[in-house]
Amino acid sequence: MKLLQITTLSIVAVLCAGCIPSGAPVSSPPEVADADFNVVWDAANEVLREYRFFIDRADRREGVITTFPMIGRHWFEFWRKDAATQRDVAEGTLQTLYRRVTINIRRQEDNKKYLVDVRVFTSRSDRLSPQVTSTSEAYDLFINPGMPRIASLTGLGGPKGSRSVSLGRDENLEQVLQREIYSLMAKKQTIYPK
């Protein structure tokens, strides 16, 4: 009986040993995320959502958040806040403007605080707006929609793949977004202290 128990235990031990992969890396315990970083990250995401930007890339390891290009505000869209000045509102009303945001969150080496770098890139559409300037063009809109002279004008808008022209950075909106993020960070840190 004793021999049977020893044999059974040794078979079970051999079978169990075969299930453990040899040379497998030992997984290290996950690092606890820095509480200050989480506050900054959450504040940046919340401000972007408040301004109606859609997140394209959110890379926590690199501390980078980018958004999809968003069409700028028109004068009658009083509920939107993505135009920082009246000039931006007027410009967005007259032509199609796109704004996209890139936020970089970096830790300062000397005092372990986080800096938020906000960049807002503005561009405009380079597509032609077809205009009806004669009776024959008006007939073309109803008789042959989508194919008339408008199709022959598409080559005038620049290279085939180009759909927007860069207008540079919107520093006014950058300052507004950065101020909102820092304000929300301060609010969250006082509500949820360490």
pTM of the predicted structure, to 2 decimals: 0.62
170 and 117 in a common domain: yes
How much is the mean pLDDT over the chain?
Answer: 74
β 64-67/114-125 pair status: unpaired
Strands (E) in the chain, as ranges, are 55-59, 64-67, 70-71, 97-107, 114-125, 164-169
Hey, what's the torsion of the CAs at 178, 99, 75, 96, to 10 degrees?
Answer: 170
Q: Which domain holds residue 186?
A: 33-126+163-194
182 and 150 in a common domain: no
151 and 56 in a common domain: no
184 and 106 in a common domain: yes
Q: Is 122 part of a structural domain of the chain?
A: yes
141 and 88 in a common domain: no
* Residue 120 φ then ψ, to 5°: -115, 120
Number of domains in the chain: 2
Q: Is 7 part of a structural domain of the chain?
A: no
The CATH number of whichever domain residue 175 belongs to comes to 3.30.530
171 and 144 in a common domain: no
Cα 48 to its chain centre, rounded Å, is 8
pLDDT digits (tens, 9 = 90+) for 41-97: 999 999 999 988 999 999 988 889 999 988 877 788 777 777 777 787 777 777 888
167 and 149 in a common domain: no
142 and 90 in a common domain: no
